[in-house]
Amino acid sequence: MAGALALVTGLTAPAQAGVTPAQAGVTPAPAVVSPSSGAPVSAANGAPVSAANDAPAVYGRAAYLMDAASGEVLFDKDGTERMPVASLTKTMTAYLVLRTAKPTDVVRIRPEDVAYAEDGGGTTADLRPGDRLTVGELLYGLMLPSGADAAHALARTYGPGVEGFVAKMNATARSLGMNDTHYVNADGLPTPGGDGYSTARDQAVLAAKALQVPLIKEVAGTRRHDLDATDEHRSYGWRNTNRLLGTPGAIGLKTGFTRAAGYCLAFAGESDGRVLVGVLLDESVSSRRFSTAEALLSWGSARQSA
């Protein structure tokens, strides 16, 4: 295969090592699903869905793979089915913040930002009340360890107020053509009033748009980010939860998990100047989402190069 994305075409999914569907709190999807066979059909955006019988096994409930530039749909398994997307929500948070704020703008962390993440049982960037961090620094805390505290601080600041920010998230989703998406917060945590929802297709559209923002692409592709202590904040060290990084050609984007959403992944890879973006939703085994994404990127790249 030509190009930097020299992945193993046809990679099969590993055994369910370490985590069972029951332990994950989700129901496993059917074992193997390929995209539509026969004549190509039209996707929601009018682009053709390629026919293929040799696609990798996909175990998650929904999956979508497309060319980021042309919108050509290469793989679609229930891509328009609405479901929770967990922390993939934070991609919209990052995208929306950077439409308003400068990376050098400073945000002061408040006790309610920290309490929100801790009380909600979300992953955190371990932010400290009183610390002052730039928007650019907070994006690493948002995207790498998937900090709900960072999401709350950014939404509170740039709504203004979390409710105002969420309203802007939904308006932005409509403007991007994400018509099957509804956000209820800036982080994807469950709420007493119900979870938000999206689709694999809508999240792929968002991924393609977000990766056009240089800082988001840089942050999402960073495996570890460290901040030395200053007069403004303590030291921080954040490691990316995306285990796809390090694979040749992989460029991000975001992991997610809740009991309702299962294990989710928005991913992207670049080969011969082309960028493919994809989304996996409601996978029952954490590690398998990364091997599946790797296989889909390899398969999609090979199809385009053929």
Measured distance CA(146)–CA(263) in Å, rounded: 14
Residue 146 is among the residues annotated as catalytic for this protein: yes
Measured distance CA(8)–CA(192) in Å, rounded: 43
CA dihedral 8, 288, 177, 259 (to 10 degrees): 180
Which of 50, 77, 90, 217 is catalytic? The answer is: 90
Q: Are 244 and 294 in contact (CB under 8 A)?
A: yes
Which of 50, 77, 87, 301 is catalytic? The answer is: 87
Measured distance CA(296)–CA(269) in Å, rounded: 10
Instruction: Please calculate the CA angle 118-121-127 and round it to the nearest 5 degrees.
Output: 35
Q: Are 249 and 5 in contact (CB under 8 A)?
A: yes
Query: Which amino acid belongs to residue 256?
Result: G
DSSP state at residue 261 = T
Residue 87 is among the residues annotated as catalytic for this protein: yes
Measured distance CA(124)–CA(149) in Å, rounded: 6
Which of 34, 37, 70, 146 is catalytic? The answer is: 146
Q: Which residues have a catalytic role annotated?
A: 87, 90, 146
